[in-house]
Structure 1
Amino acid sequence: MEKIAELLHQYRQGKGLPAAFYTSNEIFKFDVEQIFKKTWIYVGVVSEFKKKGEFRVVQVDNNSIILVRDEQGDIRAFHNSCRHRGAQICVTEKGNVPKLVCPYHQWVYGLNGDLIYAGRMGESFSCKGNGLKPVAIESIAGLLFINLSKDPSYADIEKMKTDLAPYVGFYQLDRLKVAKEIDIIEKANWKLVVENNRECYHCNANHPELLKSWPPFGAGFGWPDDPREAAAIAKKIDEAYAVKRPLWDSMGMTHEPLDLTADRWYRAMMMILENGALSQTMNGELACKKLLPGFTEPDNSDLSMWTHFNSWHHFMCDHVVTTMAIPISESETLVRTRWLVHEDAQEGVDYDLDNLTHVWVQTNDQDRWLAEINHAGIRSDAYQPGQYSEETEGLVMNFIGWYIKQLQSGI
């Protein structure tokens, strides 16, 4: 704790963090305890749980968590640990089951977590009070968040629901399906993964596929150095929004920017895709012919939304790309991306899987490489925190400021 306090004292606003914040196992453990076990973290989407009994397991540090749709249609979360002797109950990552059965001694739990059978335990034993230990779970218009704290604060998630549900709700995630899910392991500290996502300073040099449709300037990502070029781009953006806002209003879309504040750790920005693109594909054409519910014709919008430390999402007229980041160690981070399409869309008819996923498969791999060379360089004895660009890295600075506050509150 003294080491962390000293490192916090060394931190200078506007600069990067001292190396130990990225490389120290002690600080990594503190990050997990103070942030990932106390704050609401994004873990999945309602589209994964179409039927009663559908489950998946999410690992957060030492905690294996079962997410499952119960008999009443609600999505529940439980610790994946039998109340008998602690064995894991779900030993596969996902599936569909009528009951949750411990493979060790066959204790049986309902989909609501209640223990309903425990053989040969004697008359003095009662199933009541021996159900699976629940984990707090909340849905924001279909985006699923859990909180591992024994006494979670619901004020944060309720405020987030109020702010974000109007944006996300339009896309009706309960009527979508997961077309593809891809995991990658980035050999970099989780904060570097997030920092990289919070700026587009690196985009022009590193993301050719993404920039076929994604605007590299504005929306908090900075402007070109040439004032005349910057002014021309800003004018073009303003004119485009002036045309789109009435249309979005008529469709019932919430679209006004929801930006970061001192106490708001999430952001929603309605972007307009570049170069006449209608979707994030290599040719800018639709990735899926069957539009999402709510759209009667193609639209060149992209609702870009993220939460400060473990998720980012893109909602378009034909598909959704949603990504979460979960730390594994001080030098490894799981990045899981899902591509969602209309539940009635057919692969090979309405969409080609490679075309649907190509842009973000490439972009994620490029970001992986950038985070990894960043992490490797920080391990150098020569590293010292450098100055952030207020013009292009303001969102990174905001994330670091939020992170510092979380650590300070735990000391």
Structure 2
Amino acid sequence: MQKIAELVNQYRQGDGLPAEFYTSKEFFDFDMQHVFKKTWIYVGTVADVKKRGDFRVVQVDNNSIIIIRDDKGEVRAFYNTCRHRGSQICVTEKGNVPKLVCSYHQWVYALDGNLIYAGRMGETFSCKGNGLKPVAIESVAGLLFINLAEEPSYADIEKMKADLAPYVSFYQLDKLKIVKEIDIVEKANWKLVVENNRECYHCNANHPELLKSWPPFGAGFGWPDNPQEAAAIEKKIDDSYVIKRPEWQAMGMTHEPLDLTDDRWYRAMMMILENGAVSQTMNGQPACNKPLPGFSKPDNGDLSMWTHFNSWHHFMSDHVVTTYVVPISESETLVRTKWLVHEDAQEGVDFDMDNLTRVWIKTNDQDRILAENNHAGIRSDGYQPGQYSEETESLVMNFIGWYIKQLKTGL
């Protein structure tokens, strides 16, 4: 604890973190306790649990959490731990059940978590008060967040709802379905995975598939040194945005940039896809011929949204790509990506799975290699923290500043 306090208090904004932040088991445990168990964690969408009895299980450190839709259509979350002797109830990651039944001694819970049957417990035992332990869960226009703190800060999530719901609600996540889900276990500390996502300094050299549609100068990298050339590019971006703005306003789409502030740990930015693209595909054409609800034709906007430490999302006119990270250990991180389309879209008719997923499958694997190489290099005796680029890594700096602030609350 003393070593953690020293390193946290000595940290200088603008520099990289010392190796211990990424490689130490003690730091990892501190991260889990003061970041992942005290803040709102993105865990999926309402499309994960579309029907009554649909459930998903997510793992956060030592905690297995059930996300489930109950009989009244509400999405709830519970610790995946029977109130009898603690056995896990859901032993698969997803499914549909009429009731939650512990396979050990057949205790039965309703979908709202209440215990409704416990055999051979005697006349003095009451099911009342022995329901599953709830976990705080909130929906931001269909994006689901949980909080494992004993007393969660609802002010944080309410502000987030007020800020982000106008953007996300346009895409009507309750009318979408998940058609592909891929897990990657990256051999890198979770902060390196997030830092890599927070900058595009690396994109020109590493993401040829993504750059077929991703704005090369809107992401803060590769800006020309020549002032006249830079000004021409900036004007092109501004003109394109102004042209699109009346169309988005007519559709009722919230699109003005929502940037970071001292009390925001999330960001939303409407990007204009490059090279005439209307979707993040290899040829820039729609990945799904059935537009999302709210769109009547392809649109070249991409709502890029992320939360500081655990998720990033791309909302387009034809599909949504949503990704979250959860630490496994100090040197392993789960990266889970899902692709969503209109709930009525049919594979082979409205979309081709390879075309839908190829860009981000390639990009995620490229990012995995970068993060793993980064982690391996940091373990070297020769590593010492370098300085971030204010031009291209300002969002990394912002994330690290927020992260240090979280750790200080636990010292």
So what's the TM-score if we normalise by structure 2? 0.99
User: Would you say the 8 A contact 2:204–2:222 is kept in 1?
Assistant: no
Matches within 5 A, 1:30-109: 30-109=30-109
User: Would you say the 8 A contact 1:273–1:300 is kept in 2?
Assistant: yes
State the partner residue of 1:193: 193
User: Would you say the 8 A contact 2:186–2:371 is kept in 1?
Assistant: yes
State the partner residue of 2:409: 409
State the partner residue of 1:165: 165
Work out the CA distance in 2 between the residues paired with 1:352 and 1:337. Answer: 17
State the partner residue of 1:238: 238
State the partner residue of 2:145: 145
Question: Which structure 1 residue ranges, 5 or more long, are not aligned?
Answer: none
> Which residue identity lines up with residue 92 of structure 1 in the other structure?
T
Q: Secondary structure at the match of 2:58?
A: strand
In the alignment, structure 1 residue 349 sits paired with structure 2 residue 349 = yes
State the partner residue of 2:389: 389
State the partner residue of 1:296: 296
Work out the CA distance in 1 between the residues paired with 2:280 and 2:89. Answer: 39
Matches within 5 A, 1:208-287: 208-221=208-221, 223-287=223-287
Work out the CA distance in 2 between the residues paired with 1:224 and 1:28. Answer: 39
Question: Which structure 2 residue ranges, 5 or more long, are not aligned?
Answer: none
Q: Deviation at 1:50?
A: 1.5
Residues 230-287 of structure 1 deviation map (CA, whole Å, 9 limit, x = unaligned): 2121111001011000110000000000001112110000000000001000000000
State the partner residue of 1:326: 326
State the partner residue of 1:374: 374
Q: Deviation at 1:8?
A: 1.4
Work out the CA distance in 2 between the residues paired with 1:143 and 1:92. Answer: 22
State the partner residue of 2:115: 115
Q: Secondary structure at the match of 1:27?
A: helix
Q: Secondary structure at the match of 2:50?
A: coil
Q: Secondary structure at the match of 1:261?
A: coil
User: Would you say the 8 A contact 2:141–2:173 is kept in 1?
Assistant: yes
State the partner residue of 2:132: 132
Q: Secondary structure at the match of 2:6?
A: helix
Work out the CA distance in 2 between the residues paired with 1:91 and 1:140. Answer: 28
Work out the CA distance in 2 between the residues paired with 1:224 and 1:72. Answer: 56
> Which residue identity lines up with residue 402 of structure 2 in the other structure?
W
Q: Deviation at 1:222?
A: 6.8
State the partner residue of 1:359: 359
User: Would you say the 8 A contact 2:100–2:109 is kept in 1?
Assistant: yes
Q: Secondary structure at the match of 1:242?
A: helix
Work out the CA distance in 2 between the residues paired with 1:378 and 1:10. Answer: 19
Q: Secondary structure at the match of 2:183?
A: strand
Work out the CA distance in 1 between the residues paired with 2:305 and 2:224. Answer: 23
Q: Secondary structure at the match of 1:72?
A: coil
User: Would you say the 8 A contact 1:100–1:108 is kept in 2?
Assistant: yes
Which stretches of structure 1, 4 residues or longer, exceed 2 Å deviation after superposition?
A: 218-229
> Which residue identity lines up with residue 25 of structure 1 in the other structure?
K
Q: Secondary structure at the match of 1:299?
A: coil
State the partner residue of 2:306: 306
Q: Deviation at 1:13?
A: 1.2
Q: Secondary structure at the match of 2:361?
A: helix
Q: Secondary structure at the match of 1:245?
A: helix
Percent identity of equivalent pairs: 81
Q: Secondary structure at the match of 1:263?
A: coil
User: Would you say the 8 A contact 2:69–2:76 is kept in 1?
Assistant: yes
Q: Secondary structure at the match of 2:267?
A: strand
Residues 377-397 of structure 1 deviation map (CA, whole Å, 9 limit, x = unaligned): 000101000011000000000
Q: Secondary structure at the match of 1:321?
A: strand
State the partner residue of 2:13: 13
> Which residue identity lines up with residue 405 of structure 1 in the other structure?
K
Equivalent pairs, count:
411
Q: Deviation at 1:220?
A: 4.8
Q: Deviation at 1:218?
A: 2.6
Q: Secondary structure at the match of 2:181?
A: strand
> Which residue identity lines up with residue 177 of structure 1 in the other structure?
K
User: Would you say the 8 A contact 1:310–1:324 is kept in 2?
Assistant: yes
CA separation of 1:131 and 1:221: change in aligned 2, threshold 3 A: farther
Q: Deviation at 1:219?
A: 4.9
User: Would you say the 8 A contact 1:10–1:18 is kept in 2?
Assistant: no
Work out the CA distance in 1 between the residues paired with 2:265 and 2:228. Answer: 33
> Which residue identity lines up with residue 307 of structure 1 in the other structure?
T
Q: Secondary structure at the match of 2:32?
A: helix
Q: Deviation at 1:29?
A: 0.3
Work out the CA distance in 2 between the residues paired with 1:121 and 1:88. Answer: 20
CA RMSD for the aligned pairs?
Answer: 0.8
Work out the CA distance in 1 between the residues paired with 2:353 and 2:90. Answer: 29
> Which residue identity lines up with residue 389 of structure 2 in the other structure?
S
The worse-fitting range, judged by mean Cα deviation, of 234-243 and 223-232 is 223-232
